[in-house]
Amino acid sequence: MHAVKNPDVARKLESYPKEIRRGLLNLRELVFNVAADNPDIGGLEETLKWGEPSYLAEHGSTVRIGSNKSRPDCYAMYFNCNTKLVDTYREIYSDVFKFEGNRAIIFHEKDALPTEALEHCILLSLKYHKIKHLPLLGA
């Protein structure tokens, strides 16, 4: 597990209920693993944006994780709603994920994560500015 170096992010993660925190930490680990496995992503910055843990890559679009305000038993991975990311994910993975509008993939605290599909979505986001011109983001 990658240590949380940013104290603001650490405090925020600790503030979530246990089950939600566990899910968010799993999402966080996937983001770091995808970045580490794909050297063309470059460095990954962990910070707070909109008060939630967020992950930025030089040529990517922000990936943000947090609780789902309307459903306390769920958490989410959020994406910039002004991109084609969630529309692309919905096109490819409509049978795998639950979506919220054009900005999020929603997870129930008891559900297992579909790791392979989720890693693909994270990769597309972290490379977004290099691939945004491609049909279905090159997927």
pLDDT at 42: 84
Predicted TM-score of the model (pTM): 0.94
Return the pLDDT at 139: 79
Identify the pLDDT of residue 22.
96
pLDDT of residue 69: 81
Instruction: Report the sign of the C-alpha dihedral through residues 119, 138, 91, 126, in that order.
Output: positive
The DSSP call for residue 132 is T
pLDDT score of 91: 95
Task: Write out the DSSP string of 27-83.
Answer: HHHHHHHHHHH-GGG--EEEEEETTEEEEEETTS--EEEEEETTEEEEEEEEE-TTS
Question: pLDDT per position in the chain (139 positions), as tens?
Answer: 788 889 999 999 999 999 999 999 999 999 999 999 998 898 899 999 999 999 999 999 999 999 988 899 999 999 999 999 999 999 999 999 999 999 999 999 999 999 999 999 999 999 999 989 888 888 7
Query: How far is residue 20 CA from its own chain's centroid?
Result: 14
